[in-house]
A and B are shown apart, each in its own frame.
Chain A
């Protein structure tokens, strides 16, 4: 009888598997839940205290902003949008990889998504929370914001202006957060039941039991569940494209040179996926090591993520080239000056060159398999890409605004300590939430990995590397 599993010595030409080693449902269950049951180690507490300290900075910065008003920020005229909007777009973009992995790769039946979707979806939620802070604080008095953000029947009888992309943004981002949360929780329910049933202490059993809502793996439930899950994926796919498209409309529908371009929607979406994958990589590389997930998050997964970063990096680069081409081809002197004078040689041009280095040059190393499969290389590259994508939003928001039409209107910009502390603070908020997630919830979708293992083991026609051709 031929052995169904590959022999010990692997052919070097044979592709990397999606699940390393020989497993049963029980060993998958125990190995993926182990990090939840294990007490938090010193490393976790060390990271968590750093994150909490940064969260403290966020509290200080928010309090000061609310006490002083927006004057505490570095915004001026003409740079009316600055760090707040850069950070908003940056965080929203980071969230997009989660939805891409969980929804779009599900619809394309890419089996490698299974081990990383839970992780990336959690990141989506936390990144969107960080993003939402900025426009709210930017209103100056967030407790009044509901009157002009939401169609709320207030006594002064004024409704939001629905022809404004800023109003579209309110609906897009809040829908995105809600749907991502529902999708994430729906995927989590069977895993919460597994946690309930494998917990040793009564309290944990109670807590996870309450969250699992009495899930009993019923076949009648699964029949509807599969539909609910795939339809949420189907709805999330156009949703994620619409969210960053609408974010780009905030800029593209204006007349500012450098904003007024039709390439913005696809270019923003590609940039969002690019930065999102980079952020997933930045966290996944240490997490798979410390949480013992190397058998389900294999080199195959990391390499695929690097390939996506290469592709989306190329799309972003194409966007940069096209912006410059159109600035020249349109014959508009203001557009031309924005790209060829301000960005290339203006006072903020350092950020432009840093962006080109991080976003255009860095991903090119992923043409080489050696770089794609080297942990240190991919980790450092992912940090460069995170930095580069922040610089891209800096270029779009600040560089475009600080020199627009008339030189007498030009004004320089520098952030205040509040701007910088707020940004560091949101990194603290994100890290705190993420570390809590890694501590209390399985970082890998256990149920889906079990299903995948059965699919790979029992279906002789299934492609062992899990790619559809």
Chain B
């Protein structure tokens, strides 16, 4: 690949990073912006804020279904593993007890259900969040490091060719106390 080819495909994304004074202001501002027709909204806060799902208009979380699936798969793997090993592949006759004893299989079935359920909660979260992701354009903002400490931000991704100034005035009207337009840097 030549350098010229790479330059031609790269389109820098632009974001408005707007700070709000409080969690409530952020919720109200986010709702206003969403009703104002802005699609790619995200909030950045040091802790989860109650009601952010409604403000961003998010659908139901996917994690519960993923965890349920993981747990069921874990239980099936465990039970069939035990059945295969102790009944089909190598039955051990101890005191003439039947090779298939369901109550004795429960503990490991439970443990593997928890292991795969918990594992899928963890892996599922990072997969859905697309983390680890070391670079994101919002990190270009000077003030953004406070998003993990004590500040409440709204980021708005601008569609290609959209007017940045209009978006800034819109987000100010929605209650932002400080705004900044950031552009993705080319890697």
Contacts and interface: CB of A to CB of B under 8 A. Distances in A.
Contact of B147 (A163, A178, A217): A217
Q: Does more than half of chain A's interface fall in helix, strand or loop, or is it mixed? A: helix
A163 B128 CA distance: 39
B90 interface: yes
Contacts of B105: 162
Interface string B71-104: 1000000000110011001101010010001001
A302 interface: no
Contacts of A172: 107, 111
B129 A196 contact: no
Contacts of B104: 162-163
Contacts of A190: 46-47, 148
Interface stretch (B50-58, B158-166, B167-175): B50-58
B139 interface: yes
B115 A175 contact: yes
A210 B133 CA distance: 10
A216 B138 contact: yes
Interface string B23-59: 1100000100000000000111111110011011010
A228 B86 contact: no
B132 A231 contact: no
A232 B71 CA distance: 12
Nearest to B106: A168
Contacts of B47: 190, 447-448, 450-451, 454
B4 interface: no
Max chain A C-beta neighbours (<10 A), residue from B122, B124, B153:
B122
A242 B118 CA distance: 15
Given A168-B107, A215-B131, A223-B53, A29 B149 contact: yes
B118 A232 contact: yes
User: Which among A167, A219, A220, A236 has the greatest number of chain B C-beta atoms within 10 A?
Assistant: A219
Nearest to A236: B118
B45 A171 contact: no
Nearest to A220: B42
Interface string A114-149: 000000000000000000000000000000000000
A176 B78 CA distance: 16
A151 B108 CA distance: 12
Contacts of A463: none
A47 interface: no
A425 to B, nearest CB: 29
The listed residue with most B CB atoms (<10 A of its CB), out of A158, A183, A186, A227, is A227
A89 interface: no
A215 B42 CA distance: 13
Contacts of B42: 218-220
Interface string A193-211: 1101110000000000110
B112 interface: yes
A289 interface: no
B85 A162 contact: yes
B133 A213 contact: yes
Given A158-B90, A224-B63, A242-B107, A214 B149 contact: no
Given A161-B92, A171-B111, A175-B114, A227 B148 contact: no
A25 B152 CA distance: 11
Contacts of B92: 161
A182 interface: yes
Interface size bracket, B side:
35 or more
A272 interface: no
B100 to A, nearest CB: 10
B53 A179 contact: no
B135 interface: yes
B146 interface: yes
A228 B122 contact: yes
B61 interface: yes
B177 to A, nearest CB: 15
B69 interface: no
Interface string B106-148: 0110111011011101101110110111111011000011111
Nearest to B53: A223
Nearest to A253: B104
Contact of A224 (B125, B132, B139): B125
Given A178-B118, A213-B132, A214-B134, A25 B150 contact: yes
Contacts of A161: 86, 92, 94
A197 B145 contact: yes
Given A151-B81, A216-B136, A225-B129, A242 B111 contact: yes
Contacts of A246: 107
Nearest to B89: A159
A408 interface: no
Contacts of A24: 150
A179 B134 CA distance: 25
A238 interface: yes
B67 interface: yes
A312 B61 CA distance: 37
B94 A178 contact: no
B77 to A, nearest CB: 11
Given A178-B115, A213-B131, A231-B67, A26 B149 contact: yes
Nearest to B65: A227
B149 A25 contact: yes
14 contacts: A161-B92, A162-B108, A163-B86, A168-B111, A213-B133, A214-B136, A216-B136, A216-B144, A219-B49, A235-B114, A235-B117, A235-B121, A238-B114, A249-B107
The 6 A-B pairs with the shortest beta carbon distances in the complex, nearest first, are A213-B132, A25-B150, A219-B43, A159-B85, A197-B145, A451-B47
Interface of A: 24-26, 29, 151, 157-163, 165, 167-168, 171-172, 175, 178-179, 182-183, 185-186, 190, 193-194, 196-198, 209-210, 213-228, 231-232, 235-236, 238-239, 242, 246, 249, 447-448, 450-451, 454, 458
Given A216-B139, A217-B148, 9 more contacts: A151-B81, A151-B85, A163-B101, A179-B114, A186-B125, A194-B149, A213-B133, A216-B138, A238-B110
